Chains A and B, each alone.
Chain A
Amino acid sequence: MARVAIDPITRIEGHLRVEIEVDSGVVKDAWVSGGLYRGMETVLQGRAPADAFYIAQRICGVCPISHGHASTMGSEAALGIKIPNNARIVRNIIEGAEFLHSHVLWFYTLTALDYVDVVSALSANIADTYALAEKAGTTTADFGAIQKRLAGFVKGGQLSIFTNGYWGHPAMKLPAELNLIAVAHYLEALQIQAQAAEIIAIMGGKFPHFMTSIPGGTSWVASEQRLADVLFRWQGVSDFITNTMIPDTLAIAPFYLEAAGYGKGVGNFLAWGVFDDVSMDPKKRVMPRGALTGLTPFDPKPEEVTEFIKHSWYDSGDNLNPAKGETKADFTTYDLNGKYSWVKAPRLNGKPMEVGPLARMLVAYVDGVAPVKALVDGALGALSKAAGKKLPPTVLVSLLGRVAARNLEAKVIADAMGGWIGEMVAAVKGGDSKYFVEATQSDGQGAGLWEAPRGALGHWVNVSGGKIANYQVVTPSTWDCSPRDDAGVRGPMEEALVGTPIADPTKPLEALRIVHSFDP
């Protein structure tokens, strides 16, 4: 038995600690501890609903758009505001740009270094690298120049952000040529994520932290020129996802097929849904609302969400619905049998729920959403070929599936986004000039139930006399990085870590893969 603590977990948003118990090379138990409490819910009390839009998005600098939208939707629900159609389309485009930005950044910048051995790329044969890229159907780059730059860098001896990485680790399986291709695309992805973010800057002022989706609609006004600027950037990002990111995923996956055998997690999935169509019905969103136990669907009811705090550093009511939630910080000590995290333990009808792209894609797949079904079935076909046997959809409930789901979802959203830009162009040409409506009431209670790239997100807002009387947020990482609940049941990430093989407990690379697969 070896007890291993990974703290800090790097390449994530925020502060996380993971402790695992390793026996005979396999994780037997795991604890996930959130390390930061800032008190957003308390800071928002007594302020105007529009202020909450600007402030609450600062919960997360990687998904501020989703928080901003959930906040605004919560205030709109509380105040009975129905936004104009133009505002719906504008918000979809901004939200979509954030999803693409986030998914590209996650795959290439945050998790790639768990699978790609940068140092091994030095021994790649350049001609073979081009041949491999062609065979994999992915884009090429000046592989020779990139390898030379890398060689000079390594020879210089100052490895900067690559210092002390897991180079040469036995769990690194890619051939040198594929490593070099991935390094080239690691660099290119940095440009692509910035291009996606420029769409947000055009329509929202800047990214991260945007300015325009205030309660009532949007303060941005479209013009044909501005939409052309958006279209051009969407095309670049969309091309990269289709011609580089998806082929890269399918080229790398066959070397890590064993990752289909662990990292399953709790097996319950929740999606509030994201990207409204004209009906504004959450079940008709591009990624629809829904929940699953295994692959059996059911309707998630917001009033069945409660948060437990037995293992979290709070001294407030236990098992409360967020509409009546409380947050009172109370650090005691770090004790895995007692309290060990700043994250609360949310449950739906008492059960831990995994949220994120895997949850959304499975909900949409079971729901029969056509583009999702086509992509998932296509990917399963390709993986079945690599595995030499037919793989059923349940194989997706794994580390491999969680990684693949995110990249496939990027393709679904990139395609849908082309449609929204078209809708906006039509609205401008048709002369629809309504972007904003004012609130007519100053009291009420509501929830903005939406999705961040990393999963289901809820902002519960209670407004009284035009000011916020109570505010509660349940983020995707609250769901996924949850500690044990009062019944001692592990959270989704804790559960997914159990059963993971660990080749070298002093370098627990495989555990990092599980953690990163949730994109916390």
Chain B
Amino acid sequence: MAQEVRGEFYDLLAARGVTRRDFMKFCGSVAAVIGLSEVYAPQIASAIAAGTLQPALWLAHGLCTGCTESMAQIGVPDVPTIVLDLLSVNYWETVMAAAGTQAEDNITATVDKGGYIVIVEGSVMTGQGGNVLRIAGKPGVDELKEVCSKAKAVIAVGSCAVDGGWVAGDPNPAKATGVQAYLAQNGIKTPVVNLPTCPVNPEWVVSVLVDYLLVGALPPLNEFNEPKSLYSETIHDNCPRRGHFENGEFVQFGSADQTAQEAAGFCLYQMGCKGPQTKTTCPLVRWNRRVSWCVESGSPCIGCGTADPLKGGPGNWVDAGTPFLSRLADTRLPGIGGVQPSTIGAVVGGVAAAGLVVHGVVSASKGRIKGVPQESEKKFDSKNKSSEGGDK
């Protein structure tokens, strides 16, 4: 079923100092990132064998640089592979060699040539006539409009780029908004993919990029333009502490037993965990080369993956989630409705069974590569076997 990779492609790789073996290894790591088995490396190889690298521009707007930092924390494929072998990132302020005029020339040359994709990090800054962000002596939004309008696709990375993020937090003093809403307001029709969380998880970025390189189109998106494969299930659906939630075993901050409760991996719901209403794959993909994630380290999820890109501002995760360490009065739990936390332990028993079978997560990209079989439904337990949750 695997297509033969063209011979001349390997010559091309050889000219770049990459051996056939290195390349297949690379494809295997890419496969792992988008949730495929390494067996599918040949398909990936043939899809990437286009010869020239996809040009990309990474724009820095109202940012803290955390999303770039997050990209530097990826395991496979590593950063040099992404920026040297997968893409030609002609502009990326935080890591590029050029500065000033030379840096600006890189944007102009890429835009003139066309066929590039854009990655935006940071909020769209519209306050004070757009002057709350000045780049090259002009309002930053000028650059955003110009570069995005001629791009093939835009990837908004991190909650700030998606809907303004914390910068749009009430009273939104710098009038921050998100890329999708801003481009729509300005009549720019370039397709936008949204990848919220603060910062973005680097593995999600790579999966979207690779998907784009493979099929030349963006992955299937939900109503918020988020990839369905990444933003369909709640954190609560896949949380290793879920068993304790169902048993009504909660960590209580400030209580004498707090340390013992945390050591036992009790549920963080009573500390305000936003896992039940936040849809990301944090418990499965985890963070920092998969060593841990928020809940595993003892912190409730603060819902940094919550976003409202259509409105671009008012739905930001900070206003949606604060006060972070308080339980929301009306947390909607699947199948329970607004249950008061004190009674939750008793009530959830009845719905536990429904929560156990999690809708089969078949990476959406899988169905889109020819010859790759779909996976059947997975059970909650089997999916969590390998993750080292706190409830060992």
- Residues of the B chain whose Cβ atoms lie less than 8 Å from the Cβ of A223: 263
Q: Nearest Cβ distance between residue B257 and chain A, in whole angstroms?
A: 10
Is residue B325 contacting chain A, with contact meaning CB distance below 8 A?
Answer: yes
Assembly CA distance A235 to B325 (angstroms): 35
Is residue B102 contacting chain A, with contact meaning CB distance below 8 A?
Answer: yes
B288 x A207 contact (CB < 8 A): yes
Q: Using a CB-CB cutoff of 8 Å, which residues 285-337 of chain A contact chain B?
A: 313, 329-331, 334
Assembly CA distance A17 to B140 (angstroms): 13
Is residue A393 contacting chain B, with contact meaning CB distance below 8 A?
Answer: no
Assembly CA distance A194 to B260 (angstroms): 31
B134 x A211 contact (CB < 8 A): no
- Residues of the B chain whose Cβ atoms lie less than 8 Å from the Cβ of A51: 318, 322-325
Is residue B183 contacting chain A, with contact meaning CB distance below 8 A?
Answer: no
- Residues of the B chain whose Cβ atoms lie less than 8 Å from the Cβ of A221: 259, 262-263, 298
A334 x B137 contact (CB < 8 A): yes
- Residues of the B chain whose Cβ atoms lie less than 8 Å from the Cβ of A279: none
With beta carbons under 8 angstroms apart, the residue of A9, A15, A152, A166 that contacts B134 is: A15
Q: Using a CB-CB cutoff of 8 Å, which residues 203-226 of chain A contact chain B?
A: 203-209, 211-212, 214, 216, 218-221, 223
- Residues of the B chain whose Cβ atoms lie less than 8 Å from the Cβ of A58: 64, 66, 165-166, 198
Q: Nearest Cβ distance between residue B64 and chain A, in whole angstroms?
A: 4
B67 x A61 contact (CB < 8 A): yes
**Per-residue interface assignment for chain B, residues 79 to 93, with 1 indicating a CB less than 8 Å from any chain A CB and 0 otherwise:** 110011001111011
B interface size (C-beta, 8 A): 99
A15 x B128 contact (CB < 8 A): no
Q: Using a CB-CB cutoff of 8 Å, which residues 15-64 of chain B contact chain A?
A: 15-18, 52-53, 55, 60, 62-64
A209 x B198 contact (CB < 8 A): yes
B102 x A507 contact (CB < 8 A): yes
Q: Nearest Cβ distance between residue A498 and chain B, in whole angstroms?
A: 19
B293 x A205 contact (CB < 8 A): yes
- Residues of the A chain whose Cβ atoms lie less than 8 Å from the Cβ of B100: 5-9, 508
Known contacts A13-B94, A158-B52; is A164 also within 8 Å of B103 by CB? yes
Is residue A374 contacting chain B, with contact meaning CB distance below 8 A?
Answer: no
Is residue B337 contacting chain A, with contact meaning CB distance below 8 A?
Answer: no
Q: Nearest Cβ distance between residue A270 and chain B, in whole angstroms?
A: 24
A interface size (C-beta, 8 A): 99
- Residues of the A chain whose Cβ atoms lie less than 8 Å from the Cβ of B325: 48, 50-51, 214
With beta carbons under 8 angstroms apart, the residue of A158, A205, A438 that contacts B253 is: A438
B102 x A161 contact (CB < 8 A): no
Known contacts A43-B173, A118-B97; is A329 also within 8 Å of B68 by CB? no
B324 x A54 contact (CB < 8 A): yes
Is residue B141 contacting chain A, with contact meaning CB distance below 8 A?
Answer: no
- Residues of the A chain whose Cβ atoms lie less than 8 Å from the Cβ of B102: 164-166, 507
- Residues of the A chain whose Cβ atoms lie less than 8 Å from the Cβ of B165: 58
**Per-residue interface assignment for chain A, residues 101 to 112, with 1 indicating a CB less than 8 Å from any chain B CB and 0 otherwise:** 000010001100
Assembly CA distance A12 to B63 (angstroms): 12
Known contacts A35-B134, A160-B53, A214-B325; is A9 also within 8 Å of B63 by CB? no
- Residues of the A chain whose Cβ atoms lie less than 8 Å from the Cβ of B170: 43
Assembly CA distance A149 to B105 (angstroms): 26
Assembly CA distance A212 to B390 (angstroms): 15
A163 x B324 contact (CB < 8 A): no
- Residues of the B chain whose Cβ atoms lie less than 8 Å from the Cβ of A187: 80
Assembly CA distance A208 to B146 (angstroms): 30
Known contacts A204-B297, A331-B129; is A8 also within 8 Å of B93 by CB? yes
Chain B residue at smallest Cβ distance from A328: B173
- Residues of the A chain whose Cβ atoms lie less than 8 Å from the Cβ of B291: 198, 201-202, 229
Assembly CA distance A163 to B89 (angstroms): 9
A206 x B72 contact (CB < 8 A): no
A164 x B106 contact (CB < 8 A): yes
Chain A residue at smallest Cβ distance from B130: A331
Is residue A77 contacting chain B, with contact meaning CB distance below 8 A?
Answer: no
Which of A127-135, A361-369, A429-437, A484-492 lies at the interface with chain B? A429-437
Is residue A256 contacting chain B, with contact meaning CB distance below 8 A?
Answer: no
Q: List 13 A-B contacts (CB under 8 A).
A: A6-B100, A7-B135, A17-B134, A36-B133, A38-B125, A39-B174, A152-B18, A153-B84, A156-B15, A161-B89, A209-B304, A219-B298, A313-B128
Closest 7 CB pairs of A and B: A61-B66, A165-B97, A152-B17, A39-B173, A211-B299, A152-B16, A201-B288
State the A residues within 8 Å of B (CB).
5-15, 17, 33, 35-40, 42-43, 47-48, 50-51, 54-55, 58-62, 64, 105, 109-110, 113, 118, 145, 148-153, 155-156, 158-166, 187, 190-191, 193-194, 197-198, 200-209, 211-212, 214, 216, 218-221, 223, 229, 313, 329-331, 334, 342, 433-438, 506-508, 512
Q: Please name 11 further chain A to chain B contacts, defined as beta carbons within 8 Å, in addition to the given A10-B93, A11-B99, A162-B96, sorted by A numbering.
A: A15-B135, A38-B62, A50-B325, A145-B17, A149-B18, A152-B15, A162-B97, A194-B73, A205-B294, A331-B129, A435-B259
